[in-house]
Structure formats: structure tokens, C-alpha cells
Amino acid sequence: MQKELGPSGLVVISVHLLIPLDAEEGLDKAKKKAENFLFKVEPSSMIHVWLDEPDDVWMKKFNINGYPDQFVFNRANRVAEKFAFADHAGNPVKDPDAKVLETLVRSLVAGKA
């Protein structure tokens, strides 16, 4: 979607939170693993951000309980929708329907939502 809708304003940002495994493996190895994964997903069309505080700091700030939560922002830089990986008790929840996510993104880019 980024390649198609980027000229209309869609921006995709990948954010990696440091987790205990990253510290165990070493930051360089953790970054390489994440980059290998992202290259399979279309890395040239995303902005990648590494947050170097412990994951629990960011989990509290973003009110997330697991990975990979997805946030969709509108043109006013407000969260239009949050698709959570886990509920507040930490229990896994169903992944968001790709069609629901795509419909939301397309309507936001078109200025209809």
C-alpha cells in the first residue's frame, strides 16, 4: 500500500522497541534480525525507528501490552484506530482483519475519514 498510496500522503513507520532478548543477543545482531525481517516486507517504503529505552517504558507510553500493535493516524496526527496484539491483561487478541485495515487507510488517505 505504501508504494501505491505514498504519493497521496501515506507514510508507514516501523518502530522497534528494545526487548530483553536484544540485550542478550547484542544490539547489532538484533538490528540485523529486524532488518532481515523488514526487507521481506518492503523496507524501501518504510521509515524505520529504533527506540533505545527499555520496552516497558514505551509500552506504558503507548498503552500497549504486546507486539506488534498497529496504530493508524489521520492527517491531523491523531490516532484513528489502534489494532492491539494483546488486551490489558496481556492475553493475545485476534490480529486485525487486513481488509478492515486497508479500508481504513484508503479512506483516510482519500480524506473521507
Structure confidence by residue, pLDDT tens digits, 45-97: 667 777 777 778 888 888 876 667 788 899 899 989 888 777 767 677 766 67
The whole model's pTM is what?
A: 0.69
Mean pLDDT of 16-28: 79
Is residue 65 within 8 Å of 56, Cβ to Cβ? no
Position 110 scores a pLDDT of 92
Point out which residues pair with 16 in neighbouring strands. Answer: 50
C-alpha neighbours within 13 Å on the C-beta side of residue 53: 6
Question: What is the chain's mean pLDDT, rounded?
Answer: 79
pLDDT at 90: 66
Q: What is the pLDDT of residue 67?
A: 66
Which whole number is the average pLDDT over 19-46?
75
Tell me how far apart the alpha carbons of residues 43 and 38 are, in angstroms, rounded to a whole number.
Answer: 5
Q: Report the C-alpha gap between 88 and 100 in whole angstroms.
A: 22
